[in-house]
Structure 1
């Protein structure tokens, strides 16, 4: 389930509503509402925001390139791994998120991920991310605590 492209003509942001099937060890799978989000002010990152949990919303922010590469081959190290559709889950992209306490498999329809990525590519074509970074803002944020 996806929502149409919601970014401005310049493509400043993209939001797709999706359903995520969550798999956690020793628990029954659950379907939760979620959003895939992208904003050109943070052009290298995407956010997967899971809603409907007892603790509120949970956000994972990771590289857009990780998600993009993960639709065709397994990628990732550490806290986020992306696995493309294959014989065990033919129609979904699996994102595995890990913390020190637990890990979970998150299945999202491959068609929803592809549509989301196509919209992010129109907003900020891959390879042009550096043109969208506000270096003055970044420097100000980095130096704010040093005064």
Structure 2
């Protein structure tokens, strides 16, 4: 668990608890859960490689961007989350992301993700469980 600073338009930035999750059965993805301890968290799924690259340089397109904040907030990374409902800026300590990514790499090294995918399950999900 880590505290992130969440900014949304027309509101003051708010510190909120957050957690990064990794599941070896979905080895290309990470999940960011943000929310107050008593509230249902908001989850965002995106590529582990996006988070890794975003520690070094701005990266991403579409719904998720990851930007290191070397100049304005050293030691932090900003994750920009966008949807049809709006957008949020999530600032998180780069050290927390780095530690999380090191744990994921110890479980599934980059380049070996395809060895951890259950193709039968993936095909069943894509076809709605039909043969």
Could you state the TM-score of these two structures normalised by the residue count of structure 2?
A: 0.94
Counterpart CA distance in 1 for 2:41 and 2:106 is 27
How is 1:67-82 mapped onto 2 (pairs within 5 angstroms)?
A: 67-82=51-66
Q: Does 1:32 align with 2:19?
A: no
Q: What is the aligned partner in structure 2 of residue 92 from structure 1?
A: 76
- Aligned partners of 1:71 and 1:85 also within 8 Å: no
Counterpart CA distance in 2 for 1:64 and 1:141 is 21
Task: For structure 2, list consecutive stretches of 5 or more residues without a partner in the other structure.
Answer: none
Could you state the TM-score of these two structures normalised by the residue count of structure 1?
A: 0.84
Task: For structure 1, list consecutive stretches of 5 or more residues without a partner in the other structure.
Answer: 1-16
Computed over aligned residues only, the root mean square deviation of the Cα atoms, in angstroms, reads 1.6
**Aligned pair partner of 2:98 in 96, 110, 114:** 114
Counterpart CA distance in 2 for 1:101 and 1:86 is 29
**Aligned pair partner of 2:111 in 119, 124, 127:** 127
Counterpart CA distance in 2 for 1:104 and 1:18 is 17
User: How many equivalent residue pairs?
Assistant: 131
Task: Please report how far the alpha carbon of residue 144 of structure 1 lies from its aligned counterpart in structure 2 after TM superposition.
Answer: 2.2
